[in-house]
Amino acid sequence: MLGLRIFRRSIFTIDCDKCGVRFEPGAGGVCVTCQRILCPQHLHGSWVRRMMVDVGAPAICVECRAGATRLG
Ligand SMILES: [Zn+2]
Ligand SMILES: [Zn+2]
């Protein structure tokens, strides 16, 4: 039983494409623009942005937002 718990925990982490940090999928996610898997720091940048995504805003990463003049 103990081994199963450790296994479950280790399988539910992914690496950030930008900085390589490990995080749980619920915390970060995939940018809809560049399709990279990013940690909350690089996807959202701030908790305000993360809250917006939680309520339905598209998940666009910090870099895409910074240079996203063609998004409309
Ligand atoms: Zn990162
Ligand atoms: Zn992006």
Query: Coil, strand or helix: which one is 5?
Result: helix
Any idea what the Cα angle at residue 63 is, between residues 50 and 57, rounded to 5°?
A: 35
Give the residue from 6, 43, 39 showing the smallest Cα distance to 24. 39
pLDDT value of residue 25? 83
Q: 4-60 pLDDT, tens per residue?
A: 555 555 567 899 999 999 998 888 999 999 999 999 999 999 999 999 999 999 999
Tell me the CA–centroid distance for residue 1 and ligand 1, in Å. 33
Question: For residues 68 and 1, which has the higher predicted lDDT (pLDDT)?
Answer: 68
* Token output for 38: 């990013």
Tell me the CA–centroid distance for residue 36 and ligand 1, in Å. 10
pLDDT value of residue 72? 46
Whole-model pTM: value is 0.75
Tell me the CA–centroid distance for residue 16 and ligand 1, in Å. 5
Tell me the CA–centroid distance for residue 15 and ligand 2, in Å. 15
Query: Coil, strand or helix: which one is 23?
Result: strand
Beta strands 37-38; 29-30: pairing state: antiparallel
Q: Identify the nearest ligand to the CA of 62 by its number.
A: 2
